[in-house]
Structure 1
Amino acid sequence: MPDDLLRFVIGPTPYSGWWLWLAVLLILLVIGWYAAVFVWTLPAERLRRLPLVGSWHARLLRRRFARTIDNVAERHRRGDLPAPDAAALISRTLRSFLHQATGTPAQYMHVEAIASGALAPAAPVFEALNDAQFNASSPVDVAQTGSAAEELVRTWP
């Protein structure tokens, strides 16, 4: 009798049980997609505070900005970019990295302010880049300074 009542309430099941699992899988995929978009669009300062995502975000930042600096230095080595332009691009990239990695507005800071604060390890690189950018007779090798900037990004705490 209970089986007959169940069939009366539910009715015959003309579909396979795999449809239920497919529906559950699709719902989980949509939830995962929304979670990924939410995390991807978080501000950098909130990402740094998340336990697992923060370390992943830091590695991704280091790799992305180091690759950008390497590309600029390579373009300079090939002769596509003159030294002042390459130094300006490397400086802008390094300042953007420091802002994303630490939250300090490095884009707006003078080298002296960088040297006296938490970003002090980057000050010698910025001094060399400024010399290469603004001094026409600068002895600074931009490719070597670019390598130093790339190493700074890769080893930033």
Structure 2
Amino acid sequence: MSHVRDDALIMMEKLKSLGQRPLLLTGTFVRSKGCWEAEDLCPYDLPDQAKSIVGKIKMLYAALLEGWSPPDDVPPLIRKRKRDPTIKLFWKKKRTLKDCTAHTSVDVFPIMRLGKQRTRKGVIEIQVFWEPCRVCGKTWPFSWEPASNVILTNTNQF
């Protein structure tokens, strides 16, 4: 929050240098007190009479914040994230790997994640990062594979 306030003060300094007289009012809900507090940001010193007027404006702004309530259709500011279903990616592989006995009869291999996408000779290719073998732990470098061979399967694992 402090970097936002710093940016606001910088913007107000710029407005001041352009001949403007900026004044920013912010409202913060204080949970310990159970009420709203208004604060003003001003990039210049005010005379005493102006300070008292700004104080009254702050009091009116705090009263406005206390009386205002958001409409019912506005979602709450803090929401719990719902867990999305896990999507597993698999790749149909035509070649077999002879290093591990688990790879000799398998024609579909799991994908860890997909990377960038490119087009070569009119064929869309996707950068594929392979999951390591669950039996022997062998890892493979990423490869560029035709997008038509990538199969998306939706599995819910909770």
TM over 0.5: no
TM-score range, shorter chain: under 0.3
| Structure index of larger Rg | 2
TM-score (norm. length: structure 2)? 0.19
Q: Normalization by structure 1: what TM-score?
A: 0.20
In terms of fraction of residues, the more strand-rich structure is 2
**Bigger relative contact order (CA 8 A; separation at least 6):** 1
* Higher helix content, 1 or 2: 1
